[in-house]
Amino acid sequence: MNAIGTADLCDTFAADVQVCAAQFRMFGARRSFSGIIQTVSTYEDAGLVKQCLEQPGQGRVLVVDGGGSTRVALLGDRLATLAIQNGWAGVIVLGAVRDTEVLASLDIGVVGLAATPLRGSLDGAGSMGAAFQFGSADFAPGRQVYCDADGVVVSAQPLSDAYDGVQDASAY
């Protein structure tokens, strides 16, 4: 699949997408990624993030609702490497990440709110597979997420097939 810009998706499918208003920073080397959503909801605990990334990713994107905490990191270079090994397209963290220089060299999409050197606990607190909302967007397993330098866009259905053949829809 060719990279479809989030701006073009918003122009073409305005009624079918939600734009996440959270102001993420890009940390991974992959600057554009998309996939079916898998979710983890946790607070300052990376245990379920690790458990999830140990499973086959099949091109999915793990969306982690970390409650917006930037005190500890929920993803670092080891978990990102595990994600690559298991075929995940990317990880979106509503929270902090660490090992940012290494993350910048890894072929995976990683976005988060901030960076911090302190690692979260690995107790496994939280839940996997729950739907949640942040930044005015609904994240749930099975929905589709698109991410690039312009932001994060969520849709109920994959838009790539519908996008084929659409010329540049951007007004700018």
pLDDT of residue 91: 98
Q: Which domain holds residue 94?
A: 26-106+114-123
- Convert the pLDDT of each residue in 91-142 to its tens digit: 999 999 999 999 999 999 999 999 999 999 999 999 999 999 999 999 999 9
Is residue 46 included in any domain, yes or no? yes
Is residue 159 included in any domain, yes or no? no
- Convert the pLDDT of each residue in 8-67 to its tens digit: 999 999 999 999 999 999 999 999 999 999 999 999 999 999 999 999 999 999 999 999
- What is the mean predicted confidence (pLDDT) over 143-147? 97
What DSSP assignment string belongs to 132-150?
A: EEETTEEE-TT-EEEEETT
- What is the mean predicted confidence (pLDDT) over 72-82? 98
79 annotated among ligand-binding-site residues: yes
Is residue 169 included in any domain, yes or no? no
Is the per-residue pLDDT at 69 higher than 60?
yes
pLDDT of residue 4: 74
- What is the mean predicted confidence (pLDDT) over 4-9? 91
Q: Quote the number of domains for the chain.
A: 1
Half-sphere exposure of 86 toward its Cβ, with a 13 Å CA cutoff?
20
Is residue 101 included in any domain, yes or no? yes
CATH assignment of the domain containing 55 = 3.50.30.40
99 annotated among ligand-binding-site residues: yes
Cα–Cα dist 138/133, whole Å: 5
Is residue 61 included in any domain, yes or no? yes
Is residue 50 included in any domain, yes or no? yes
Is residue 74 included in any domain, yes or no? yes
Is the per-residue pLDDT at 83 higher than 60?
yes
31 annotated among ligand-binding-site residues: no
Is residue 129 included in any domain, yes or no? no
- What is the mean predicted confidence (pLDDT) over 68-89? 98
Q: Residue 51: in which H helix or E strand, if any? A: helix 47-53
